[in-house]
Amino acid sequence: MAPSMTGLQLTAASRRDSADEEEGLLSSYDRDNPSNLRRIQVNVTGMTCAACSNSVESALNGLNGVVKASVALLQNKADVTFDPALLQDEDIANAIEDAGFEAEIINEPSVSCSKPRAMLIGQFTIGGMTCAACVNSVEGILKKLPGVKKAIVALATSLGEVEYDSTVISKDDIINSIEDAGFEASFVQSNEQDKLVLGVTGITSEIDVQMLEGVLCNLNGVRQFNYDRRAKELEIHFDTELLGSRTLVDGIESGSHGKLQFFVKNPYTRMASKDLEESLNMFRLFTASLFLSVPVILMRILCPRIPLLYSLLLWRCGPFQMGDWLKWGLVTVIQFVIGKRFYVAAWRALRNGSTNMDVLVALGTSASYFYSVCALLYGAITGFWSPTYFETSAMLITFVLFGKYLESLAKGKTSDAIKKLVELAPATALLLVKDKGGKVEGEREIDALLIQPGDILKVLPGTKIPADGLVVWGSSYVNESMVTGEAAPVLKEASLPVIGGTINLHGLLHVQANKVGSNTILNQIISLVETAQMSKAPIQKFADFIASIFVPAVVTLASFTLLGWYLAGILGAYPKEWLPENGNYFVFSLMFAISVVVIACPCALGLATPTAVMVATGVGANNGVLIKGGDALERAQKIRYVIFDKTGTLTQGKATVTTAKVFSGMDRGEFLALVASAEASSEHPLAKAILEYARHFHDFDEPNTTKNAQTCKLESKSFGWLLDASDFSALPGQGVQCFIGGKKILVGNRKLMIENWITIPVHVENFVVELEESAKTGILVAYDNDLIGVLGVADPLKREAAVVVEGLMKMGVNPVMVTGDNWRTARAVAKEVGITDVRAEVMPAGKADVVRSLQKGGNVVAMVGDGINDSPALAAADVGMAIGAGTDIAIEAADYVLMRSSLEDVITAIDLSRKTFSRIRLNYFFAMAYNVIAIPVAAGALFPWLKLTLPPWVAGACMAFSSVSVVCSSLLLRRYKKPRLTTILEITIE
């Protein structure tokens, strides 16, 4: 049976500073006087340069009532904040038109009267990034913005994660900053719990918009809202104490008398659609470029072999031949219409003080294009016709676009893990509607994203459970493999927890939702995977550094190549027979230089790490191992020591009391009542075992034959026989103490007794030693300064513990067991699993001190634990691995979450990390070796001996496929199979 997932609470990257969630992203008004100001955006047509945008900005700022105006040249937009008492929208549009431009108002935010404040973590899609240099450029821009605390940009996902103070900067300001740098940007989502994005249908006129505003303003609990007319999206910021998401939507729909309909917008669905849109756009550009390039290539290769066609191409039309006109016309469209994106991207990179792949492509294609144009003009003037290279420019752009299309497809594959997880989420739910008396009066189908805590949901056989919750009625088997990885169905009945997205197989269930939205386990898994894919492994800093200097170095090398071959030709260092027909030394040198510029693109280098990390995190999630980042992957592949907590990690954590011996004249029931009362406030697994043992004793001691079994079970769980305990305190590494009936009671080990001056008789000591030598824990109990009894507790080992320990040693990893249990019990357990290195958990630092001692000498240490007391050690370790069924704090402190609560996944985590970084190193080898080999060939290093050249269009093809080869190399990780223990241990079954 799959392990219990009770209490599982996944959180995002543990080392991130927490953000206050009361801030809204919908700040669409001036912060100094939000109640009186409005903000609009205007489309401005006709701007061609910075002088134009300055003119528009000056015209707007000169208006009486305008508080702030900014103009984005590349986006042809103006953003204006103004006082509506002094200005109207038409006045702003007229001012722009009076300045000589066309204006169209495109957005009119609507707001409430409240001002949210907090630090937010927002996600933005960023389009137009082509290599690591682009990533560095965008990150640099974001980090310089006022109010931005942290910014991470991922090339493979085209996502940026920004932590910012929205009292200083809004999401629109961030988007505008990215767009001003020449990239495309749009907001995806934030970490807010009190914001809802709704799609709206039914708005047909301005009256409908005003009605919507009126309904929202009169709805108690709505803090702020913004309606985007173009996207038909409504963003609402609301008070979660007054409104739930469904209550909010129902209130708006009823206020509009059913005219307006709303549906929740899933941010992940929008991201997926953007990925598809990018791939389709690349495909359109590639096919258009290919369609226009084919005639150019045919005119060069095929037409000279067909006399009739060739004679038409040689027909002179004006100063040029018809073939020259056709080539020029077709390639001009390819160069400046289809290839416009390369010029735009190159310009924005240079404007931001950086260089990237687009700079190289723009340089290479422009050189061949403008040389060809100049050659034609020179021939028309002088009569000396040099060869043209229009086809080089056309084929270069075509191959680059083909490479970008394949790259977009491959990168889309790397995000399949998140897409698959999103698909697991149920779309709708059946809500049981109750009257005021609590009686079910019907059911209603609702959007699963509108479920609220406390809702009772009806789950039919064969459908997905809509949210995390508890079964309140019914019995069925549930497939939880999407979370636990275990295929065996799990029995669910009243009072047992269920996980949203898992599949109800057979019976009918009524489930009470207790975790919804971002709090569900599925959404937290998605968040963890997404955060991991956004993170950067330290090894990527190497690629970022190389990318930052690579392009200038390549341009310099190309310049020297051009100059070297040209001067060598003039000085007679090589014969004229090497020159192309009707060519000259400059043309001959230029082709080598263009090839160098084109082939030396650093794209493959920038994709080597992020694509591999993305695939690895997705593969890990599919195998029940959640990885919190690329840095965790890099550390895990170097692990030399793995520290295991004993209780709940190596053992099942389901301790049972096997012996209860009283050494005083006290009644057995009274003894157990005292011990259970003292342990009732402890969260330690041993305490729970003692409490359960005492409960069973009292159930059998006081049976109730007049009530059915279910009633007895419920009454026994109330533990009404427990005694009142006061001044309870847990003493880590020793036990617990409290006062019952005014007398002090101690429950714990020898150290607790000795420090409280409790005498342990010889016969009691011998009994405890006997327990410990049989791998049981002896718990001493003292009451009113007298030792009154001993409990023997056994916690069975996990069935895979011994095999996993042996497997780790086969992998070159040293297992260590740390426990606060007594030494005899610890050694007995260690011997049973095959661990020779046993460390005592010495307080106050405990396991964390053991971690630090092993880290001396540069050893990479992993800690595997599940309890609150393991959290300091999980945080101190180089790699923390939390058992999925463990506590929230342990999971938050860890770098890996083992969802199946199986120790086998420790081996999976280490093995996956090693294979991932082997793949990353292989990617870097391919990328670097490609450049090391290809650049000298492109520069003509082999030409004097082998007459081997790399034409620019061939160089473009090689450059395009280099990036794709690296991404596809990373995609091979998707074929990863977790290691079988029988393989690791080389066990042969006859």
Q: Which two tokens stand for residue 103?
A: 């204006």
Phi and psi at 552, nearest 5°, equal -60, -40
What is the C-alpha separation between 640 and 954, in angstroms, rounded?
A: 47
Q: Which two tokens stand for residue 863?
A: 């800690």
Please provide the DSSP assignment of 413-442 as one string.
HHTHHHHHHHHHS-SEEEEEEE-TTS-EEE
- Nearest to residue 733, comparing CAs of 680, 679, 684? 684
Please provide the DSSP assignment of 620-656 as one string.
HHHTTEEE--HHHHHHHTTEEEEEEEIIIIIB-S--E
Q: Which two tokens stand for residue 258?
A: 């059913």
Q: What is the DSSP letter of 464?
A: B
What are the CA-CA distances from residue 363 to residues 13, 392, 403 (Å)?
Answer: 41, 13, 18
- Say if residues 840 and 853 touch (Cβ distance below 8 Å): no
Q: Which two tokens stand for residue 442?
A: 């019907």
- Nearest to residue 171, comparing CAs of 145, 196, 152, 194? 145
- Say if residues 215 and 248 touch (Cβ distance below 8 Å): no
What is the C-alpha separation between 656 and 836, in angstroms, rounded?
A: 26
Task: Residue count of the chain, please give it.
Answer: 990
Residue 226: in which H helix or E strand, if any?
Answer: strand 222-228
> Residue 769: which residues within 8 A CB-CB, separation 6 or more?
778, 824
- Say if residues 209 and 157 touch (Cβ distance below 8 Å): no
Residue 882: in which H helix or E strand, if any?
Answer: strand 879-883
Cis peptide before 732 (omega within 30 of 0): no
For residue 45, what are the β-bridge partners?
102
* Active-site residue, from 645, 821, 866, 870: 645
For residue 163, what are the β-bridge partners?
121, 150
Tell me the Cα Rg of the chain: 35
What is the C-alpha separation between 636 and 12, in angstroms, rounded?
A: 19
Q: What is the DSSP letter of 867?
A: S
Task: Name the maximum alpha-carbon separation found in the chain.
Answer: 123
What is the C-alpha separation between 916 and 933, in angstroms, rounded?
A: 25
Active site residue 324: no
Q: Strands 879-883, 860-865: parallel, antiparallel or unpaired by DSSP?
A: parallel
What is the C-alpha separation between 966 and 282, in angstroms, rounded?
A: 19
Buried b (16+ CB within 10 A) or exposed e, 326-356: bbbebbbebbeebbebbbbbbebbeebebbb
Q: Which two tokens stand for residue 589?
A: 């040198």
Q: Which two tokens stand for residue 811?
A: 């992998």
What is the C-alpha separation between 719 and 727, in angstroms, rounded?
A: 20
Q: Strands 456-459, 428-434: parallel, antiparallel or unpaired by DSSP?
A: antiparallel
Quickly tell me which residue has 């009770």 as its tokens: 6
Instruction: Indicate left, alpha or beta for 426 from its phi (over 0: left) and psi (-120 to 50: alpha).
Output: beta
For the annotated catalytic residues, the residue numbers are: 645
